[in-house]
Amino acid sequence: MDFAGKVAWITGASSGIGAALARELAARGAHVVLSGRDEARLAEVAADCGETLILTFDVRDEAALADATAKAIAWKGHVDIAFANAGISQRSRALKTSMQVYRDIIEVDLLAQIAFTQGLIGHMAERGSGALGFISSIAGKVGVPMRTAYSAAKFGLAGYADALRAELSINDVSVHTIYPGSVATNVSRNALNADGSQRGRSDKAIDEGIPADVAARQMLDGIAAGTREIIVAEGMELAMGEARRTPEALFDQVAGMVAKGYMDKLEQQ
């Protein structure tokens, strides 16, 4: 895929991986749509990205999301690439974690990202082109201690992406699931404690992780190459992700079921 001239929409674009993706996409010639809750921080990112559209809203607000989707499509007449990136992490033992933390993380990291995608797939399928990037995590491949809610949400996002990839394979819409390991962002600082409060401090592994701009380049290189599972990690995290990598033949097998009319047959039963 050549990103030049493409319209790319990114949720969670005010910092971290989202901001790095926006800057890298702009450097590769894309027109970027930036979304998040903090308009001032989005404006700082936009200043590095040339022609941009800023759509400020909370991803949990479905009415605001629907309005933003219409504006994103209307801006250039289409959206070519969308990154479901907004999310929040966790640092707490399951034995001590309140159910509200599970609800909050799953709502933001899974349900809101599904809603974001559902608003765009009809547009992409009708055009017969497009790409979707889902920011999961190594914790979405291997359950990681102190992140039970986060792992549940990220595993769920990967499952949605895999099923969606098969369905949209007949519409020439590509789906890419991205599994970052430790990337140097504020993800740990913004993570939720057992009671839902913000952690407020980072982890050594995150602070010493892959720079966000380097991670963004690897992600976009993977999409450009047509890679369906993109693992962006180092050391033990890379080994963990590779150990759980889905075989390419399995993706092809499921897509083949769709090509042979699996969905049509199931609907007729």
Catalytic residue set:
150
* CA–CA dist 124, 106 (Å, integer): 26
Q: Which long-range contacts (CB under 8 A, 24 or more apart) does 105-108 make?
A: 105/149, 105/150, 105/152, 105/153, 105/192, 106/149, 106/152, 106/153, 106/156, 107/60, 108/59, 108/60, 108/153
* Residue pair 112/155 in contact by the 8 Å Cβ criterion: no
DSSP at 144: -
Phi, psi at 192, each rounded to 5°: -90, 140
What are the structure tokens assigned to 193, written together? Answer: 């404690």
CA of 226: how far to CAs of 154, 164, 183, in Å? 21, 16, 22
* CA–CA dist 11, 113 (Å, integer): 9
- Residue 21: is it exposed, middle or buried by C-beta count within 10 angstroms (0-12/13-18/19+)? buried
